[in-house]
C-alpha cells in the first residue's frame, strides 16, 4: 500500500501543468511531493481487523464511492452540477469542494490537488491558483516551509519581501498565510501567497496563489480571501 506525503504543490509557474508557462522566474518548490511505501501492518489478536479490512469497508461505502466519482470527474476537468471541482485525501472521506475564482479555468487535477489559471496566461503574465491537501504534517512544518527564504539566494532575485505569518477567518476556517513578493531578472515581478488551514488533526488544506506580470503589480490580498470563500471542506 502506498502513502502520499504532500506538503506544498509549489510548482514553478506551471510545472505541474500540461499547458505549462515554460521556464520562467517563479521560485522553485519549497517542498516537493513524495511517495513512499508504507509497511504492511502487523497482525494483532487484540485487533483482528486489518488495514485491508478497513480499506475494503471504505471501498464499499456509498459515500466514499460517490466521492471518488466526483474526484474522477474533476481529474477529467468536469465540474459537478454546481460548477465546482472536488479533491480529497487518500483512503478517507475528507474532501474539499472548490468554486474557481473569477477569470480562472481548470488546468490540471489529481486526487489531492487542483491547479487553475487564467485562460489567456502567458509566460510572464498569469495568475495561477493551487489547492491541495497535506497529510501527516504539522502546522509548524507548513509554516517553516512557507516562510523559507533560501530559494531566493540567487543573484537574479531582487527586492525580495516575505511577510510575517498572518491569520484570518473565512467561512468558519482559521486561515494562516504568508505573502512573498520579488523581482526576477530585474524586470518580471511575482507575488505569491501561501495559506493553510487545518482540515483535521492529521490533514491540512493548502492554497497557493502565484501572480506574475511584466511590469507593475497590485495583486490585492483579498484574492486569497476570495479563494477560501469558494472552498467547502468536509
Q: Would you give per-residue pLDDT tens digits along the chain (234 residues)?
A: 333 234 554 433 333 333 334 345 555 444 333 333 333 333 444 444 444 445 557 777 888 888 899 999 999 999 999 999 999 987 788 899 999 998 899 999 988 899 998 887 776 678 889 999 988 888 888 888 888 888 888 888 888 999 999 999 998 899 999 999 888 887 788 888 999 998 877 788 999 998 887 544 445 578 889 999 999 998
Cα-Cα-Cα-Cα torsion 105, 114, 169, 10, nearest 10 degrees, comes to -110
Write the CB contacts of 233 (distance below 8 Å, at least 6 apart in sequence). Answer: 94, 95, 96, 173, 197, 199, 205
What is the C-alpha separation between 100 and 102, in angstroms, rounded? 6
Q: For the chain, which residues make up each domain, given as ranges?
A: 2-38+51-233
Q: Does domain 2-38+51-233 have CATH number 3.40.1000.10?
A: yes
Pair 99, 131: CB distance under 8 Å:
no
Task: Report the 10 Å Cβ neighbour count for 16.
Answer: 20
The pTM of this model reads: 0.77
What nine digits make up the cell of 171?
467561512
| DSSP 8-state secondary structure symbol assigned to residue 47 | B
DSSP annotation of 150 reads G
Amino acid at each position: 500500500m502506498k502513502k502520499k506525503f504532500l506538503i506544498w504543490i509549489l510548482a514553478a509557474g506551471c510545472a505541474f501543468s500540461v499547458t505549462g508557462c515554460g521556464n520562467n522566474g517563479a521560485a522553485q518548490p519549497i517542498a516537493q511531493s513524495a511517495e513512499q511505501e508504507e509497511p504492511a501492518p502487523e497482525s494483532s489478536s487484540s485487533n483482528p481487523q486489518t488495514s485491508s479490512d478497513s480499506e475494503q469497508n471504505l471501498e464499499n461505502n456509498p459515500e466514499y464511492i460517490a466521492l471518488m466519482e466526483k474526484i474522477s470527474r474533476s481529474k477529467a476537468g468536469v465540474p459537478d452540477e454546481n460548477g465546482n471541482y472536488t479533491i480529497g485525501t487518500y483512503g478517507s472521506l475528507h474532501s474539499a469542494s472548490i468554486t474557481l475564482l473569477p477569470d480562472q479555468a481548470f488546468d490540471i487535477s489529481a486526487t489531492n490537488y487542483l491547479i487553475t489559471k487564467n485562460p489567456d496566461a502567458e509566460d510572464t503574465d498569469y495568475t495561477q491558483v493551487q489547492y491541495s491537501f497535506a497529510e501527516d504534517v504539522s502546522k509548524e512544518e507548513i509554516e517553516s516551509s512557507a516562510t523559507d527564504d533560501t530559494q531566493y539566494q540567487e543573484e537574479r532575485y531582487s527586492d525580495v519581501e516575505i511577510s510575517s505569518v498572518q491569520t484570518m477567518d473565512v467561512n468558519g476556517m482559521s486561515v494562516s498565510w504568508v505573502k512573498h513578493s520579488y523581482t526576477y531578472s530585474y524586470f518580471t515581478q511575482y507575488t505569491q501567497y501561501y495559506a493553510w488551514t487545518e482540515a483535521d488533526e492529521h490533514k491540512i488544506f493548502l492554497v497557493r496563489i502565484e501572480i506574475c506580470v511584466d511590469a507593475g503589480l497590485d495583486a490585492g490580498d483579498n484574492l486569497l480571501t476570495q479563494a477560501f470563500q469558494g472552498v467547502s471542506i468536509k
